């Protein structure tokens, strides 16, 4: 899979899905603000929290990318089959982001199995005494059940290596940051732009084209 194509598409997925992230994580970020000591600047705590979240994404991407690389070396034409899976998931993500088909929501139900035991652990980390204390909190909340995260993670299986898988998930996480970190009127304008159906559909169309290209290239290599 072309690495620049994969990383660019991963960032677009995060950017287009950031309004979904605001809906799911907005309450978490709000609760986070109440755990920050009074008369302390909130930004260092927010940066630390999101760094932890992106670290979890990158670690998960490294694991799936590494597993995919092992599969591709052990199975004949394994990388071709993984690319077929990658292109298929990218098409499904495009349908999900464009609000044309919401079937990927079932992944969130599967993720709840992993998530439930982590919730009590996260509560023991509050309140924060210093910005670095928000880092492990973000690491835990990086595993919050989310169809976008899990389907992008499935896509990283075809990355070809652990570091490419980590890169895909890192770029996805970076794409979610603008809407979650921006404040004030800029935040309102940005979220209005990302929430606009035309914006999401244009990004979904670009992702669908990318998925079709990946599928087409993989099908040409099937023997």
Q: Tell me, what's the pLDDT at 160? A: 81
What is the span of the domain harbouring residue 159? 3-221
In the chain, the number of structural domains is 1
- Tokens found for residue 4: 């620049």
Q: Tell me, what's the pLDDT at 166? A: 95
Query: Any residues with CB less than 8 A from the CB of 139 and at least 6 apart, and which?
Result: 52, 53, 55, 56
Mean pLDDT for the stretch of residues 188-197: 64
> Is residue 19 predicted with pLDDT exceeding 70?
no
pLDDT-based confidence at residue 64 (cuts at 50, 70, 90): very high
Query: Any residues with CB less than 8 A from the CB of 119 and at least 6 apart, and which?
Result: none
Q: Tell me, what's the pLDDT at 211? A: 83
Cα 178 to the center of its chain, rounded Å: 13
> Is residue 187 predicted with pLDDT exceeding 60?
no
Cβ atoms of 210 and 5 within 8 Å: the answer is yes
Q: Tell me, what's the pLDDT at 185? A: 41
Q: Tell me, what's the pLDDT at 7? A: 81
């Amino acid at each position: 899979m072309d690495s620049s194509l994969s990383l660019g598409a991963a960032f677009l997925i995060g950017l287009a899905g950031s309004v979904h992230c605001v809906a799911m994580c907005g309450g978490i970020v709000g609760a986070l603000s109440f755990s920050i000591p009074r008369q302390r600047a909130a930004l260092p705590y927010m940066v630390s929290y999101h760094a932890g979240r992106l670290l979890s994404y990158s670690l998960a991407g490294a694991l799936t990318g590494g597993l995919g690389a092992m599969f591709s070396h052990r199975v004949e034409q394994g990388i071709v089959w993984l690319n077929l899976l990658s292109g298929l998931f990218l098409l499904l993500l495009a349908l999900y982001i464009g609000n044309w088909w919401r079937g990927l929501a079932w992944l969130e139900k599967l993720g709840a199995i992993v998530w439930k035991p982590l919730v009590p652990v996260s509560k023991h980390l509050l309140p924060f005494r210093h910005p670095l204390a928000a880092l492990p909190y973000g690491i835990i909340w990086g595993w919050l059940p989310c169809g976008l995260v899990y389907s992008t993670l499935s896509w990283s299986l075809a990355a070809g290596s652990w570091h490419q898988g980590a890169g895909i998930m890192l770029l996805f996480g970076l794409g979610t940051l603008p809407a979650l970190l921006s404040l004030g009127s800029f935040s309102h304008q940005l979220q209005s732009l990302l929430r606009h159906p035309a914006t999401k559909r244009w990004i979904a169309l670009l992702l669908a084209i990318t998925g079709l290209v990946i599928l087409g290239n993989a099908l040409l290599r099937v023997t």
